[in-house]
């Protein structure tokens, strides 16, 4: 018999609640996405604001300075890449046709791909003959021009950035009320203090992770831009910026960057070496960064199981698109930082942590004892 206290009922209620939460996040993404991005920016700026506040700068002024710096940096990135991207979108039909032609000639240069090339050519001739059939009517669809689409997209992006930075500023200035709100579900003062310490530790861990990751990504963009400049790739600074931004998305970002760089090289150059060299150089630099530089500087903060990263990318990418891909890894970093210090989340910690090497010991969870009568501030 199904009762309110039965395990089956609780399990079904939990599943229904999760489905309702996911549906709300998907349907109301216009509301939840800026809030989530604002929280992410606030976590990223936590350590710099703390450092400025310790040297005597008022918190409100420190928040204003850093938010203005972030806005200026985003504006600079937008100004640098909007021109090349607009040219790509405006001339996309010609670029796609040239890319298909270059790929066809590149494939025909290799003997192993001759039969595939002949098959593609035959299919193209058949399609051409069908199109020339007088009984077939040509349908022309007029779509909005690039300027109209770009104006709408730019307006949406600018509005989202303004809302996100405003939310981040309020989160940073009004930190104490939000921290108190996070501890409201607990009754005992010792539990509230423990929850506050766990959250403050998650803030430090997440902020440190993103600051170090941002410096690594900037260095990666500079190195890749210099390598592409030596190889003669046009606009290497744009590629450096794109590579640095895509590197925030583990696995998927480098794949997108490699494919885009290879397509641009095929269109720009004529010889096979010039076509493959830029993408190969990017892959080599990214391999060194991902396997040596990042593990050295981030250490245990990057110890997240690869399967959970892939599942997080799939879920958040489906939920919120490209913005979800950006949020996928940060969500895991915050979740793992909380699970590392919260004893009730030990099972989740084992799921998020990669498999240990034989003989290695799992880091113990240390929870400080709190005197119930002791009064401490959450801030």
Q: Three-state secondary structure along the chain?
A: CCCCCCHHHHHHHHHHHHHHHHHHHHHCHHHHHHHHHHHHHHHHCHHHHHHHHHCCCCHHHHHHHHHHHHHHHHHHHHHHHHHHHHHHHHCHHHHHHHHHHHHHHHHHCCHHHHHHHHHHHHHHHHHHHHHHCCCCCCCCCCCCCHHHHHHHHHHHHHHHHHHHHHHHHHHHHCHHHHHHHHHCCCCCHHHHHHHHHHHHHHHHHHHHHHHHHHHHHHHHHHHHHHHHHHCCCCCHHHHHHHHHHHCCCCCHHHHHHHHHHHHHHHHHCCCHHHHHHHHHHHHHHHHHHHHHHHHHHHHHHHCCCHHHHHHHHHHHHHHHHHHHHHHHHHHHHHHHHHHHHCHHHHHHHHHHCCCCCCCCCCCCCCCCCCCCCCCCCCC
Q: Is residue 86 part of a domain?
A: yes
In a domain? residue 374 = no
Domains identified in the chain, total number: 1
- Summarize pLDDT for 299-335 with one digit per residue, the tens: 666 678 888 989 999 999 999 988 898 888 888 888 8
The reply to whether 358 falls in a domain is no
Task: Give the tens place of pLDDT for each residue, 267-305.
Answer: 888 888 888 999 999 999 999 998 899 888 876 666 788
Kindly report, residue by residue over 96-112, the tens digit of the pLDDT: 777 777 777 766 665 54
What is the pTM assigned to this prediction?
0.75
Q: What is the pLDDT of residue 342?
A: 81
For residue 19, tell me if it sits in a domain.
no
Residue 134 has pLDDT above 80, yes or no: no
Q: Does any domain span residue 174?
A: yes
Is residue 306 a part of any domain in this protein? yes
Q: Residue 87: give the domain boundaries.
A: 29-110+150-352
Model pLDDT for residues 14-73, shown as the tens digit of each residue: 899 899 999 999 998 888 988 888 888 888 888 888 888 889 889 889 999 999 999 999
State the average pLDDT for the chain: 78
Classify residue 376: in a domain, yes or no. no
């Amino acid at each position: 018999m199904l009762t309110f206290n039965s395990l089956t009922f609780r399990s079904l209620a939990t599943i229904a609640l999760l489905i309702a939460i996911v549906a709300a996040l998907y349907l109301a993404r216009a509301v939840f996405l800026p809030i989530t991005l604002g929280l992410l920016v606030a976590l990223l700026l936590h350590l710099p604001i703390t450092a400025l506040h310790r040297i005597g700068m008022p918190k409100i002024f420190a928040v204003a300075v850093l938010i203005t710096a972030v806005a200026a940096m985003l504006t600079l990135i937008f100004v640098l890449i909007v021109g090349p991207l607009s040219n790509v979108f405006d001339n996309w039909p010609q670029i796609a046709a040239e890319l298909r032609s270059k790929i066809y000639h590149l494939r025909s240069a290799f003997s192993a791909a001759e039969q595939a090339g002949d098959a593609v050519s035959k299919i193209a001739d058949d399609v051409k003959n069908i199109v020339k059939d007088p009984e077939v009517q040509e349908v022309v669809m007029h779509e909005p021009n690039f300027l109209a689409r770009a104006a709408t997209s730019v307006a949406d992006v600018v509005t989202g950035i303004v809302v996100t930075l405003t939310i981040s500023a309020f989160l940073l200035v009004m930190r104490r009320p939000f921290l108190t709100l996070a501890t409201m579900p607990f009754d005992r003062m010792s539990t509230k203090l423990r929850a506050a310490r766990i959250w403050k530790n998650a803030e430090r861990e997440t902020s440190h992770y993103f600051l170090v990751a941002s410096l690594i990504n900037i260095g990666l963009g500079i190195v890749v831009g210099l390598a592409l400049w030596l190889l003669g790739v046009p606009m290497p600074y744009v590629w450096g910026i794109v590579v640095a931004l895509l590197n925030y998305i583990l696995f998927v970002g480098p794949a997108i960057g490699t494919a885009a760089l290879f397509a641009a090289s095929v269109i720009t150059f004529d010889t096979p070496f010039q076509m493959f060299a830029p993408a190969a150089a990017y892959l080599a630099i990214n391999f060194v960064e991902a396997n040596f530089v990042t593990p050295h500087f981030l250490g245990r903060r990057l110890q997240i199981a690869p399967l959970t990263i892939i599942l997080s990318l799939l879920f958040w990418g489906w939920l919120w698109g490209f913005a979800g891909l950006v949020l996928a890894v940060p969500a895991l970093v915050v979740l793992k930082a909380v699970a590392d210090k919260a004893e009730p989340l030990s099972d989740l910690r084992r799921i998020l942590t990669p498999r240990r090497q034989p003989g290695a010991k799992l880091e113990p969870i240390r929870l400080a004892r709190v005197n119930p009568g002791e009064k401490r501030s959450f801030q």
